[in-house]
Structure 1
């Protein structure tokens, strides 16, 4: 039997009008039997008109359990895989493998979304797709971070910088050093020195047992120089950047056919001293006379650079240098500053040059000079 709604709909289809109250009551007495519609309406059934099929109540708009499971199970599987691959990426060393599998989960979720796009119910599929993208993004970020911060990556990325292109025949430790200047020059040299590199050099000193670095070792570590020259038994190498703002000068002495480091000088590693290209002089002769130069026995007796800079401001130019002359004193840091203002009035000095030497991080005045002095 049909429901009253189904019977009413069938009545309208067969008879062409809605049933009257009397007809509805008669139908109710028959239990809304669709086969009684013609009899109740009093309409003669045309021989060509077929009886409407009896509706199957159980088959109207009710999907099978099997189809429901297929729509739910696949997105759930995608969610589980995305979460599993993310967890394995975080907890295991095989991060790249599981990140790749997380990408595969994104592709699977995308296929499911496309397949269910026109279906009215696809909330779980959308969630699975969003979670797969999030899991892949996190996995990729973790993999990238651990890779670029690993000791292996640092070694691989930095080590080649120290292996310069040199002819191995020229660097054979068992042979004498070449006297051909071309064996020490690289026309395409790119500056690759730092202050710590320079301070790690070993300079030959007659007052110590430490021998100087061999030129072969310098070439292996820092490459051939921008410029080179040979004079008598001495070899001079100059490393500089394109702007000549950073320079390393090395001098080698030849002993038993081997060039060893005898002198090292560099400048331009730091820009700690600020300068003023539009400097206007505030120096008076009395200010200059009050400056104290350090003695040979007491460097700290000299005026401090910090006090001078505070009173007279930034100089017009400044150069910080590091040198090792091989005299046993090791590396020395110096600072040369110049205050120049040639438009200054007669009450002020137009040119003041000051030299400082560093001790325990402080620059002390070692020499002073003013125009006409």
Structure 2
């Protein structure tokens, strides 16, 4: 046997390095037997080599566990998405059968997930996904079956919307008296969509022929509630206008036996037939203005034609085209008011010209004129 100093020196000579604490303890157990030096140093190398392998095995096991945990979360989420999309598309699109089949496939997928994860402790998300898939399939199947036998239900998004806008059925009961609550006739979110043909198709009460006018309930059903309304005595006034107040429809109703019927109708600027020029420069001379002919009460066609005036003097600065029916039996009358104004014009030209026209057989004839300034 050797002393520990001798054993340490001999270890360094044989192995080429100093002994580790573990090797020193093993040498002490052998009584510092020099013959055990090779055995002790070899055992240390084996332990060092085994440690990385053990670490790698642990890491590999941990990675596998993480992968399984992610699968337990991701796959149920995929099932949720498939089920939700299937139900939504079955409700909103005309291809209901196709998306009902997709919902069925989603249910099968969720069922497989549930079977695979049944014995695992963390399967709550899978159970919920299966329940959601089952509900999505049942609802999709119900919608498909209902729409198959009831074709008028669940209109597709491409179908033209009903123009019965915001008119409550209780307010429009045909058998009851018309409401006197002004709020029943107003829609603050009204979107203007009147056309000239729609306006001129209205039936206005005629004094001369005793022609009955449209009921306010029928107007509301077809065109919706108005932008504004007011009630005065037995009269109801409805105003439909766009956001810029450039296009307007005014309707007046009279109350008879509890029912409001249309007695007059007025519309302004429903079309853009007359173009305007905000930068108009006057070319009007007094002689031009004097040459204009105003129509007589007996002969409208005696007036100067708007088409000729526009051709010679161009587009006016402003123009308002209106349609009116006062219920006197004359039907709808169209009129046009235009203004030529240029206050920066030279003294050779008129700075302001106002002209009014009435329409007959598609042609506007001058009925009144006014001019000022040089």
Q: TM-score band (shorter)?
A: 0.5 to 0.7
- Aligned twin of 1:281: 282
Counterparts of 1:167 and 1:310, CA distance in 2:
50
Kindly report which structure 2 residues correspond to 1:9-24, keeping only aligned pairs within 5 A, or say none. Answer: none
Q: Is the 8 A contact 2:250 2:265 kept in 1?
A: yes
- Aligned twin of 1:91: none
Counterparts of 1:312 and 1:237, CA distance in 2:
38
- Aligned twin of 2:358: 357
- Aligned twin of 2:214: 213
- Aligned twin of 2:185: 184
CA deviation map 1:262-319 (0-9, x unaligned): 1101122211111111111111111111110011111100000011111111111111
Counterparts of 1:192 and 1:280, CA distance in 2:
34
- Aligned twin of 1:251: 252
1:232 paired to 2:233: yes
Counterparts of 2:157 and 2:195, CA distance in 1:
18
Q: Using structure 1 for the length normalisation, give the TM-score.
A: 0.57
Report the secondary structure of 1:158's partner residue.
Answer: coil
- Aligned twin of 1:22: none
- Aligned twin of 1:168: 169
Q: How far off its partner does 1:218 sit?
A: 0.5
- Aligned twin of 1:297: 298
Report the secondary structure of 1:355's partner residue.
Answer: strand
- Aligned twin of 2:125: none
Counterparts of 2:157 and 2:211, CA distance in 1:
30
Q: How far off its partner does 1:157 sit?
A: 2.0
Q: Is the 8 A contact 2:280 2:342 kept in 1?
A: yes
- Aligned twin of 1:194: 195
Report the secondary structure of 2:335's partner residue.
Answer: strand
Distance 1:364 1:235, change over 3 A: same
Counterparts of 1:334 and 1:360, CA distance in 2:
12
Q: Is the 8 A contact 2:280 2:317 kept in 1?
A: yes
CA deviation map 1:327-362 (0-9, x unaligned): 111011111100000111222111000001111111
- Aligned twin of 2:51: none
Report the secondary structure of 1:366's partner residue.
Answer: strand
- Aligned twin of 2:312: 311
- Aligned twin of 1:343: 344
Q: How far off its partner does 1:204 sit?
A: 0.3
- Aligned twin of 1:12: none
Report the secondary structure of 2:320's partner residue.
Answer: strand
Counterparts of 1:192 and 1:319, CA distance in 2:
18
Runs of 4 or more consecutive aligned structure 1 residues displaced over 3 Å after TM superposition: 153-156
Report the secondary structure of 2:367's partner residue.
Answer: strand
The total of aligned residue pairs comes to 227
Q: How far off its partner does 1:257 sit?
A: 1.3
Kindly report which structure 2 residues correspond to 1:57-136, keeping only aligned pairs within 5 A, or say none. Answer: none
Kindly report which structure 2 residues correspond to 1:36-51, keeping only aligned pairs within 5 A, or say none. Answer: none
Q: Using structure 2 for the length normalisation, give the TM-score.
A: 0.57
Report the secondary structure of 1:183's partner residue.
Answer: helix
Q: Is the 8 A contact 2:352 2:373 kept in 1?
A: no
Counterparts of 2:332 and 2:278, CA distance in 1:
30
Q: How far off its partner does 1:372 sit?
A: 6.7
Distance 1:155 1:267, change over 3 A: farther
Counterparts of 2:253 and 2:174, CA distance in 1:
16
CA deviation map 1:232-275 (0-9, x unaligned): 11110001111112111101111111111011011222111111
